[in-house]
Chain A
Amino acid sequence: MKRKGIAALLTMSMVLAAGGTGGAVVSAAEDPVTFKVAVMLNPLCKDEDFNNQEAYKKAEEATGVHIEWIPISSADADDKVNIMLASDLPDAFLGLIGEGQIANNMDSFLDLNQDDLLKTNAPHVVSDYEKLSNGLDIVTWPDGSIRSLMTGRQTSYENDAEGIMFINKEWLDNVGMDVPTNIDEFYEVMKAFHDQDANGNGDANDEIPFEPSQSDWCSKIMNVANPWGIAGTDSSDESAYKMVKDGKVTGTVNTDEFRSFLEYAHKLVSEGLMDKEMFSQTSEQYHSKINEGVVGCYYTWSPYADMSESEAQKWVEVPVFDDGEGHYMKTGSQDKFSASRTGFCITSECEAPDRLLQWWDYLSSSTEMKYTNRFGPQGEAWDINEDGTVVELIPDSLTDDFTIENYKYTYGMTGLGTYITKEENAEVLEENSFTSWYRIDCVKQLHEYCVPVENQLPIRFVDPEKTSERTFMETELFSYISNFIATSVLDGIDDAKWEEHLSQLDAVQYNEWLNWYQEYLDKEF
């Protein structure tokens, strides 16, 4: 009893010290209350009882809120959540709800804006959100309601550049060439890889010079269009079908640059320099090829994530290609917003939303608390330097069967932890986790070429009717464009085909689609 009191006192002072805004400080003296929270169970997590996590133990002690977790495996999430929405609403969802589910079931989620619920009970959360350029608008629906709170990090530098092109240095040495800096040099290098025995295994025919893959998240075909100034804000092909320039949403797949890219890609495929199986292979086949030692150049997160350290060392990052006219771009977004806006949702079933919000606010009350929620106890997977910056560490308890990923998802919630602002982002040191550090180092070389903030679409919720209008257009539009790209790359393109393509774009409502985004950008809805 005494110990509990002291702990509460300690945490209270911590809240006060870190929060600054003061606000509602809760004491453990309040009646204990239990909430049911459905939570996404990550396959890497080795302990299904989330109450064993340090952050939730502390939060229960401090706020008297006990959580009865309902873990739902990520594989079943969609179906199960929809059933829960129809029949058994828990008090809250953590990491299971998407924008569409809120849009279709508005009334199932509590409006946190009403009676100033959020402002009175979660001052830390509010002050964090207000630091954003559009403040609380980021989680506000067109009708003025707030139905969800954010999880994860505001920005994650390592994610900004999406897939990065790497080339095999050993192969380059074998054919006596340097890392290419533009598309012509790239073509020459690929040709040399193809014609010579670049991997030095005695067989000059087993080399695949260039290996993008539609089945991999970051190796898709539109990455190849980067040198022509066409780049998406993320690694999906669709995001590169439009770009924003000077406040205008413009099409990309009807431009001459796009056609040049198709012709170049066709040249690569027809001469056997780019693998045509990129359109049909499974993700498993793709990764096998990478590991087989027959690929000379590919897009990836980091070679260290794909293969053994000794193999990964052979790869070097390829800089952004210069097409001589300053068109160059890189798929990805600078300062990309990477938090989930629908991470934590309190439902209409919840009888004491104030208490649950206070619990969430406690978890968001300080950088320490946020990271405890994210990665587990301080001093193991993370710590705070004297100057207040957070740094990632490697805990001692890891084994071959319990890796750092297992650790982070078992002792903490990782992406489902409370919202972390850009200023609070943890630093990654080379000596602590080389793979992550190396990735960040690679991103640094390309970051300035990613889509700048002013050319990114703002993030906000829109009227569900409008979203559904767009979705109906997209199913047809995307299917047409991706088929057009694939067949053009494989079979080539001529004037007749190009004209036909332009008129097809009208038929599948390309302009309407662009217009939808223009109106979105202009805040017309």
Chain B
Amino acid sequence: MKRKNLWKRMKKCYMLYLFLLPAVLMIAVFCYAPMYGVLMAFQNYSPSKGITGSSWVGLKWFRTFFNMPRFWQIVKNTLTLSIYSLIAGFPIPVILALMINSVRNSKFQKVTQTVTYMPHFISVVIMVGMLTTFLSPRSGFLSHILTFLGAPDDAFYMGDAKAFPHLYVWSGIWQDMGWSSIIYLAALAGVDQSLHEAAKVDGATKLQRIWHVDIPAIVPTMIILLIMSVGSIMSVGYEKVFLMQNDLNSTVSEVISTYVYKIGLKQQQYSYSAAIGLFNNGINFILLVVVNKVSKKLSGSSLW
């Protein structure tokens, strides 16, 4: 009885399934077809032998990873950077979007939007290059400004291990806040203008309208993005960290991805990198599932 009912409901939605089909097919070909590669984490993989020809080593690579002396240190470094980025970097684009959205002069609004979005296009190499030059204790103008604002005269920011997480996170926020706010701006554009008009009639101030009209409109988007950010807590991209790394800050700047990169650079450790990647993403995925469940209970918004 129930089965028949389901079939009926499915038939009713045939158009929706047709809509879904292209995406499902593309994902099948581009993601699921090569998925067998996950197996190399349990092998001694060699490209020439392939998955079928390489020998099996069980959990050897996972053990190698857990047993390395610096394991906890690099996990800690990774988490420090990603949690800091999440806490500082998540609310700022939201606030920026709300601020831009409530500017009345539309020219100024457009200019702010365009300008804040531009740093996203500066490649990381250039960005880190600028950071080191601007912060040079000898001639960097940013150093001079900070000294003027009361920082010690000979502060050496790029060489200071304590400054590293701050530099990493805030340069990232600088670069991406405008870009990340776009999605919220789009959600704010979906806000029914008649709600604003009605609130105005009721005598609500701008702040009140932001609080009662704008924010509720973007909360679902925020929750979805937050769930996804929590689900990538173990992943800190290697490129920027690697470029910012030097002999002085290596105790705090060695993260999982840079470690994998270095091991891979010396010799092709496919299996080892695959195992570390699998470990990372396993944790990420578990976190995602948990956060998703919590969010479903608390707010009703969830990924599935």
Contact = CB atoms under 8 A, between A and B. Distances in A.
Interface of A: 82-83, 85-86, 89, 100-101, 103-108, 208, 214, 275-277, 279-282, 284-285, 467-468, 471-472, 474-476, 479, 482-483, 485-487, 490, 507-508
Nearest to A276: B156
B48 A486 contact: no
Interface in B14-33: none
Contacts of B48: 85-86, 89, 105-108
Given A107-B49, A486-B247, 18 more contacts: A82-B268, A86-B48, A104-B46, A104-B267, A105-B46, A276-B137, A277-B158, A279-B159, A280-B156, A280-B246, A280-B248, A282-B128, A468-B267, A472-B68, A475-B262, A475-B266, A483-B251, A508-B69
Contacts, number: 98
A86 B50 CA distance: 7
Interface in B127-161: 128-129, 132-133, 136-138, 156, 158-159
B36 to A, nearest CB: 13
Given A471-B263, A476-B69, A483 B247 contact: yes
Contacts of B133: 282, 285
Contact of A277 (B47, B138, B263, B269): B138
Contacts of A490: 156, 159, 248
B50 A486 contact: no
B11 interface: no
A277 B137 CA distance: 8
B114 interface: no
A452 to B, nearest CB: 28
24 contacts: A100-B267, A105-B48, A106-B48, A107-B49, A214-B247, A276-B156, A277-B156, A280-B156, A280-B158, A282-B129, A285-B129, A467-B267, A471-B263, A471-B266, A472-B68, A472-B263, A474-B266, A482-B250, A483-B251, A485-B247, A486-B159, A486-B246, A486-B247, A490-B159
Contacts of B108: none
Interface string B25-68: 00000000000000000000011111000000000000010001
Interface residues of B, number: 32
B296 interface: no
Contacts of B246: 214, 279-280, 486
B267 A487 contact: no
B73 to A, nearest CB: 10
Contacts of B159: 276-277, 279-280, 486, 490
Interface in B59-92: 64, 68-70
A287 B189 CA distance: 49
Nearest to A288: B133
A476 B70 contact: yes
A86 B138 contact: no
A107 B251 CA distance: 40
Nearest to B68: A476
A238 to B, nearest CB: 11
B74 to A, nearest CB: 10
Interface string B241-270: 000001110110010000100110011110
A271 to B, nearest CB: 12
A7 to B, nearest CB: 39
Nearest to B133: A285
A85 B47 contact: yes
A30 to B, nearest CB: 30
B132 A86 contact: no
User: What are the nearest 10 A-B pairs in CB distance?
Assistant: A86-B47, A486-B247, A100-B267, A280-B158, A108-B48, A105-B48, A85-B47, A482-B247, A486-B248, A483-B250
B263 A475 contact: yes
**Residue with the highest number of chain B CB atoms closer than 10 Å, among A104, A284, A476, A508:** A104
Contacts of B132: 280-282, 285
A106 B48 CA distance: 8
A284 B129 contact: yes
B64 A277 contact: no
B156 to A, nearest CB: 6
Nearest to A470: B266
Given A108-B48, A479-B254, A101 B247 contact: no
Given A280-B159, A485-B247, A507 B69 contact: yes
Given A471-B267, A482-B247, A281 B136 contact: yes
Contacts of B269: 468
Nearest to A84: B47
A214 B138 CA distance: 17
Nearest to A109: B48
B70 A279 contact: no
A479 B50 CA distance: 33
A107 B47 CA distance: 10
A273 to B, nearest CB: 14
B69 A483 contact: no
A510 to B, nearest CB: 12
Contacts of B137: 276-277
B247 A279 contact: yes
A294 B287 CA distance: 53
Contacts of A104: 46-47, 267-268
